[in-house]
Amino acid sequence: MVVRKLFLVGMLAMFAFAAAPSRAAADWYATPFVGGNFGGNANFNGTGTTFDDQVERRVDVGASLGWMGKGIAGVELDWGWSPNFFQNTTGSGNFAFGDSNVTTLMGNVVIGVPIGGQRGGGVRPYVTGGAGLLRSNISATTLFSGLSSNDWGMNVGGGVHGYFNDRVGLRGDLRYFRLLQNDTPGNGLDLALSDFNFWRGTIGVTFRFGN
């Protein structure tokens, strides 16, 4: 409950900041991206036993929509989707799950310092962090009835925007994601997820809109 209240307060503050009238407000940007997840680890809880598994590398696709002011602060909504995320895990569990996927939808604060000016070419390294939805979906197997859960998650990371001109550039981004709540198995041969975390590295094309 504390995490949920802090998240809601943070989201309200972010949206109020973004919506506040300001002559300095300048740039919206959209970045479709592709990348991969790595360094993943999770505890799968079922039938009274916990299995610690490492998640192999998986492709991730998604997009970010953000707003940056004339200064260094901004906000961003980041969505990512990774198919077959839990397929062929390794570790003490070493399950071969069927169809599975992980979806993330995070509201973030972004701090980035422009180098080379606000317009034209130039780069903007940044750090970012926030919280939101971390959805896990695993199809049923012969051992478990499956898992489909919408949980609170967080992410922190950073990267750099490099612009070719006023409107188009490239972005490289690295983020760490972690589950903020531990699930418990239901009745029967059910499955739950806890201590879930992974890294995501992506590259994308940024389209910038502003005055």
Q: Which residue is it, tokens 């199809």?
A: 139
Tens of pLDDT, residues 85-132: 876 665 555 555 667 889 999 999 999 998 876 666 789 999 999 999
8 pLDDT exceeds 60? Answer: no
The model's pTM is: 0.78
d(CA 95, CA 92): 9
Mean pLDDT for all residues in the chain: 78
Q: Which are the contacts of 170, defined by CB distance < 8 A and separation ≥ 6?
A: 161, 162, 164, 203, 204, 205, 206
Instruction: Give the domain ranges of the chain.
Output: 2-210
d(CA 65, CA 180): 23
The CATH architecture that domain 2-210 belongs to is Beta Barrel (2.40)
Neighbours of 5 (CB within 10 A): 9
CA atoms in the 13 A half-sphere facing the CB of 35:
22
Neighbours of 29 (CB within 10 A): 22
The two beta strands, 49-55 and 25-46, are antiparallel
Tens of pLDDT, residues 146-163: 677 888 999 999 999 999
Encoded tokens for 37: 């997840």
CA atoms in the 13 A half-sphere facing the CB of 24:
11
d(CA 69, CA 181): 33
